[in-house]
Amino acid sequence: MTANPVASARFAGLKFPIYMDNHATTPVDPRVLSAMLPYFTETFGNAASRTHAYGWTAEAAVDDARDTIAQLIGAESGKEIVFTSGATESDNLAIKGVAEYYKAKGNHIITTTIEHKAVLDSCKRLEKDGFSVTYVNVGPDGLVNPKDIEAAITDKTILVSVMLANNEVGTIQPIAEIGKLTRARGIIFHSDAVQGLGKTPFDVRAMNVDLASLTAHKIYGPKGVGALYVRRSKPRVRLSAQMDGGGHERGNRSGTLNVPGIVGFAKACKIFIEEGVAEAEKIRALRDRLYKKITAELDSVVLNGSAEHRLPGNLNISFAFVEGEGLMMAIKDVAVSSGSACTSASLEPSYVLRSMGLEEDMAHSSIRFGLGRFNTEEEIDYVAELVIAKVKRLRDMSPLYEMHKAGIDIKSIQWAAH
Amino acid sequence: MAYSEKVIEHYENPRNVGSLDQEDEAVGTGLVGAPACGDVMRLQIRVNDAGVIEDAKFKTFGCGSAIASSSLATEWIKGKTIDEAATIKNSQIAEELSLPPVKIHCSVLAEDAIKSAIEDFRKKRAAKQALAGQ
């Protein structure tokens, strides 16, 4: 077996497994946790209680949180923030809520093939209810072309939904350009901004975004709390509520507010307002260091998605001739994810990579490294050495790499699909 | 996914990784699977005049279960006659490695690889005998 860099004294201080799956979720920042704690035990009131100080204190904390979250996304007012249980609920509320409210106006929705399942499956549900949905494909760089959105618009189009940044390949979509198109035609524009929030410039007013899905747990806040930005003026966006009950959140989303979660969400946003730009640079440098080290030692490594329009923490690469799940097993000291079929319940490789036109074998060979706030240079160096050693080992075991080295074109072989 | 101890053991210490000379008339080669499906196995056997598998080698592109299945397959067939080796069933491989249902196809591929290597060897031998009979 190839020497494992674990043995090296240089890496004696590291804690395993090293977390590099920050697109999946992030740890709660200790500053966020401290801000939340009093709201569990001392100021535990229900923000909807109007008759006593417990309720007033909770409501004030929630309203402060709205303002902070609004500030991070450039919203006009905290009143435009509707709290939810997370981005899946926000996506459902935005898409189904708009479709139901505006159905008299039109029945056509435009989205992209690389959206999160919460968007795609909401659209699929609406198709069963008589709506028509256009799924715009992306280019090989993982970017949506605004012209393709424009071409899909009909006089029946009521909603366009395009994510700010993709969760697999980290590509940052041309939201401002799409916003111009939709605004000029009076079409509502929703963006699932979960992955890009705080990490890439996002301004709902400058970009003409009307609805934006947000979540706390991707920005070092707690799980189980999210928000939907709902524009209140120019134009005012209306939704049909998807949850019936006490009429909380101006009737948009009933349910007692998760006050500690909301306070944590706001604190997480506050940290990004203050430190986001510097942090993005730091993480980008770590990401580039990892990529350079890997490509300096390994041939046949392909970066998936645009290098330029990309989240600073995202590195999605395919190691040709090595299967992704097999590689993850070899680098189990690192928590990452793969576009390989073997990691999904459906046994289908990543639909995002397939939409980009990636060959299936390269989709099977992809690994997503998601770097975050708490990764260090030492971790990067360790992971680079580990990946290099293990890819070499697996390629020594790979019949495809042997054929490639012998000059055989793997595509020329008649493979029997199974 | 949690792997069984046996899968991990074979994955970390695979038996019989390597290549045999494909042109050698005593060698049978099976290449099964497809890159698009995420697994390809190449299993090779060297068979002596008595029909006994003297050596077996594999190379696999695939997940841990695919690598472990092919490693186990080479281990099991070494020393067996080709007729004995041809009776190995995927279910035996799956059972030995405690493969979960989503990984059963890895053991199917290993069985196919054994059969395909034996088939290749038999074809070579038949061709050789036909030549000798002329």
- Does residue A90 register a pLDDT over 90? yes
Partner residue facing A400 (CB), from B17, B35, B63? B35
The active-site residue out of B22, B24, B37, B123 is B37
Q: Is residue A300 over pLDDT 50? A: yes
Between B2 and A374, name the one with better pLDDT.
A374
pLDDT at position A59: 97
State the pLDDT at residue B134: 72
Within the 31-70 window of chain B, which residues sit less than 8 Å (CB to CB) from chain A? 31-42, 59-64, 66-67
Interval A225-257: pLDDT, tens: 999 999 999 999 999 999 999 999 999 999 999
- By C-alpha distance, which of A199, A174, A237, A230 is closest to A72? A199
Question: In a 3-state reduction of DSSP, which class is residue B17?
Answer: strand
CB A280 within 8 A of CB A312: yes
**pLDDT for residue A2 is more than 50:** no
Nearest Cα residue to A178 out of A142, A153, A141: A153
B37 is an active site residue: yes
pLDDT value at position A8? 74
Q: Tell me: pLDDT of A409 over 70.
A: yes
Residue A1, pLDDT score: 44
Average pLDDT taken over every residue of chain B:
95
Q: Kindly state the average pLDDT of the residues B107-130.
A: 95
Q: Which of B5, B7, B57, B61 to mutate against chain A (most A CBs within 10 Å)? A: B61
Q: Would you kindly state where each structural domain of chain A is located, as residue ranges?
A: 14-28+276-407, 30-272
- Statement: residue A324 has pLDDT above 50: yes
What's domain A14-28+276-407's superfamily in CATH? Aspartate Aminotransferase, domain 1 (3.90.1150.10)
Tens digit of each residue's pLDDT (9 = 90 or more) over A325-345: 999 999 999 999 988 866 666
Tell me which chain B residues have a C-beta less than 8 angstroms from the C-beta of A6: none
DSSP track, B32-61? EEEGGGTEEEEEEEEE-TTSBEEEEEEEEE
Closest-CA residue in chain A for B58? Answer: A397
Would strands A132-136 and A81-84 be described as parallel, antiparallel, or unpaired? Answer: unpaired
Indicate the pLDDT class of residue A346, thresholds 50, 70 and 90.
low
- Of A362, A366, A311, which Cα lies nearest the Cα of A337? A366
pLDDT at A396 over 60: yes
Checking if the pLDDT of B1 tops 90, the result is no
The amino acid at A339: G
Which segments of A129-205 does DSSP mark as H helices, in order?
A: 146-152, 175-185
Residues of chain A contacting residue B35, judged by C-beta atoms under 8 Å apart:
360-361, 364, 400, 410, 415
Preceding amide of A17 cis, omega within 30:
yes
- In CATH terms, A30-272 corresponds, of 3.10.20.30, 3.40.50.300, 1.20.120.80, 3.40.640.10, to 3.40.640.10
What are the pLDDT digits (tens) for A26-81?
A: 999 999 999 999 999 999 999 999 999 999 999 999 999 999 999 999 999 999 99
Residue A232 CB-density burial (10 A; 0-12 exposed, 13-18 middle, 19+ buried): middle
- pLDDT band at A364; cut points 50, 70, 90: very high
β-pair partners for B89:
none
Task: Specify the length of chain A in residues.
Answer: 418
Output the pLDDT for position A342. Answer: 65
Q: What string of DSSP letters covers A343-404?
A: GSTT----HHHHHTT--HHHHHTEEEEE--TT--HHHHHHHHHHHHHHHHHHHHT-HHHHHH
A269 is catalytic: no
Is the CB of B32 less than 8 angstroms away from the CB of A361? no
* pLDDT for A4 beyond 90: no
What's the rounded mean pLDDT across residues B32-57?
A: 96
Considering chain A, what percentage of its residues have pLDDT values greater than 90? 92
**pTM, two decimal places:** 0.94
The single residue listed with the structure tokens 């240089």 is A10
Q: Which residues contact B74 (CB under 8 A, 6 or more apart)?
A: B15, B16, B43, B56, B57, B58
Size of interface A-B (CB pairs under 8 A): 91
Structure tokens at A300: 């046949």
For residue A348, name the pLDDT band (cuts at 50, 70, 90).
Answer: confident
Based on its alpha-carbon atoms, the radius of gyration of chain A, rounded to whole angstroms, reads 23
Put simply, the answer to whether A323 touches B108 (Cβ < 8 Å) is no
Alpha-carbon gap, residue B114 to B88, rounded angstroms: 8
A53-A56-A57 Cα angle (round to 5): 85
Q: What is the pLDDT of residue A276?
A: 97
Burial A123-147 (b: 16+ CB within 10 A, else e): beebeeeebebbbbebeebbbbbbe
Domains and CATH numbers, chain B: 5-123 (3.90.1010.10)
Q: Which band of pLDDT confidence, cut at 50, 70 and 90, is reported for residue A389?
A: very high
| Burial profile A290-313: b = 16 or more Cβ within 10 angstroms, e = fewer | bbebbeeebeebeebbbeebbbbb
| Mean pLDDT taken over chain A | 95
pLDDT tens for each residue of A108-128: 999 999 999 999 999 999 999
